[in-house]
Structure 1
Amino acid sequence: MASEKAKALAAQQKAERRAEKLRKKNSDDPRDWGRVRQIVEAYKRTSEIDPQLKWWTVAAVAAPIVICLAVGFWLQPWWLWLITGVMLALVLVLWVLTWRVKKANFKRYEGQAGSAEVAFQLLNKRKWSYELGIAATRQMDVVHRLIGRAGIVLVGEGNPARTRALLATETKKHEQVAYGVAVTTILVGRDQGQVPLDALQKHIEKLPNALQPHQLTEVKQRLRALDAMRPKIPVPRGPMPTMKGVNRAMRGR
């Protein structure tokens, strides 16, 4: 009797494993994919926007192998240098793919509402936190907020004239609540006085420190009262699925 129950339980567990494996195989969620599929999907999606990706990939594979073979025929044994070249090629391909995925995502989402999140997701999560769409106009000009050692950073996207006015209004509100904490404003775009989307991450990271770690908690608490007085703005989310997949594949799961 006990053996029959054990066999039934084993069969059930085996069926559940098969079902889970099939679900992951047919899933569109990058979290369910294996490392190889994450990299393949990232390559496919990026190549749709970046036709040069294939040539960069070929160069990343060929260059280290050719160089190592040339050194191997000179120093011997050549097969050991060939293995070294293959290993270097794998590392270089992943680096090239990550680099081109970044560029492709900036190109794909530039000019869209919420595109600043592409840059925000690349920031150090321990140093920065962000809120999307804390304010917006009817034309979907939006202001996002970051909080870090540099203080409060307000990032605007949209029509320059309307967004500057919105940034000015939000700056006054935040200065009243934050009691002297530095408030920096950034307007995303490619005109004079604006910061391009692909340079936004580095621009934010270069801002000088203005707060101590213990002050960050106090500032966040003050801003909760300001946020409670207004509704959330529905800003498009999830701009970087391919980048997350590549990062997960390179780190391991």
Structure 2
Amino acid sequence: MSSSTPLDPSTMSRRRQIIETFRMTREVDRSIGWWMLAAFLVFGGIGFFIFWKLPGDSVFLTVIAVIGGVLLGLLGMMIVFSRKAQKAAYTRMEGQLGAGARALSMLRRGWQVEEVVGFTKQQDMVHRVVGPPGIVLVGEGNPNRLRQLMNSERKKHERVAADFPVHEVLVGSGDGQVPLPKLVRHVQKLGRQVKPAEQTDLLQRLKALDAQRPKVPLPRGPVPTSMKGMRGNLRGR
């Protein structure tokens, strides 16, 4: 594993971001290059065959088939790259402080993530997500300590937003917990119970609550290059 200083994706070009994402992914999955090559050949071959079978002039169709095959091959290669990079990024984050908050940064527009709205001295923490399901409290750390912390945060949020649903999610691999790689999808599947206009009202109510708590910055590891800077490419569909 590389011990180099983490890079800030906001200071890098698009090309540099892709190179760094590939490098970091390869540190976790050495086979990524072969998988990308295989995807290019398979998708490219399919694309070439489809265009070559179209009726028309053979020379013209051959040129179109080559171009179409290359484009479809590149598409397949990027799909494999994004999936492998996403999996590798989650692997790198496992066990890191604040991994849940970094994973939640993958949520699309229409969601607002507030890191560390609650914490313990042992570094258990609760993050808050506001979106279509309402309020989602996401806890990471020791399940026994989190139970009391989550209950406390739920009561605080219900006092200022009693008419909005509050969901609780624990990140982990135990019973009743959600594994880190499935966290974003799990939150998205909680349903649509709050309209966009109501979300605005909800966020306004939560401002008073947030003003009373200290801000606890999370330490940043090498993950943001691939998980945040390349966020658009890594979102699973």
Q: Indicate whether 1:47 and 2:30 are aligned.
A: no
Cα distance change of structure 1 residues 65 and 128 upon mapping to structure 2, 3 Å threshold: closer
Tell me what 1:147 maps to: 130
Tell me what 1:167 maps to: 150
Letter in 2 for 1:53: I
Question: How many angstroms does 1:199 deviate by?
Answer: 0.7
Tell me what 2:224 maps to: 240
* 1:6-61 alpha-carbon deviations (Å, 9 max, x no partner): xxxxxxxxxxxxxxxxxxxxxx5434444333322211111001122122112112
Tell me what 2:3 maps to: none
Question: How many angstroms does 1:72 deviate by?
Answer: 7.3
Structure possessing the higher relative contact order (Cα contacts under 8 Å, 6 or more residues apart): 2
- Identity across matched positions, percent: 41
Specify the SS of the correspondent of 1:224.
helix
Distance in 1 between residues matched to 2:132 and 2:227, nearest whole Å? 26
Pairing partner for 2:118 from 125, 135, 141:
135
Larger gyration radius, structure 1 or structure 2: 1
Distance in 1 between residues matched to 2:99 and 2:145, nearest whole Å? 18
Q: Is the contact made by 1:35 and 1:248 (CA closer than 8 Å) also made in structure 2?
A: no
Question: How many angstroms does 1:188 deviate by?
Answer: 0.2
Specify the SS of the correspondent of 1:122.
coil
Tell me what 1:231 maps to: 214
Q: Is the contact made by 1:129 and 1:148 (CA closer than 8 Å) also made in structure 2?
A: yes
Specify the SS of the correspondent of 1:198.
helix
* 1:221-249 alpha-carbon deviations (Å, 9 max, x no partner): 22122122221123224742124444568
Cα distance change of structure 1 residues 69 and 153 upon mapping to structure 2, 3 Å threshold: closer
Pairing partner for 2:16 from 32, 37, 44:
37
Tell me what 1:13 maps to: none
Structure 1 unmatched runs, 5+: 1-27
Tell me what 1:111 maps to: 95
Number of residue pairs matched by the alignment:
222
Distance in 1 between residues matched to 2:233 and 2:106, nearest whole Å? 16
Pairing partner for 1:90 from 49, 65, 74:
74
Q: Indicate whether 1:63 and 2:42 are aligned.
A: yes
Specify the SS of the correspondent of 1:113.
coil
Return the TM-score normalized by structure 2. 0.83
More helix by percentage? 1
Distance in 2 between residues matched to 1:128 and 1:65, nearest whole Å? 37
Return the TM-score normalized by structure 1. 0.78
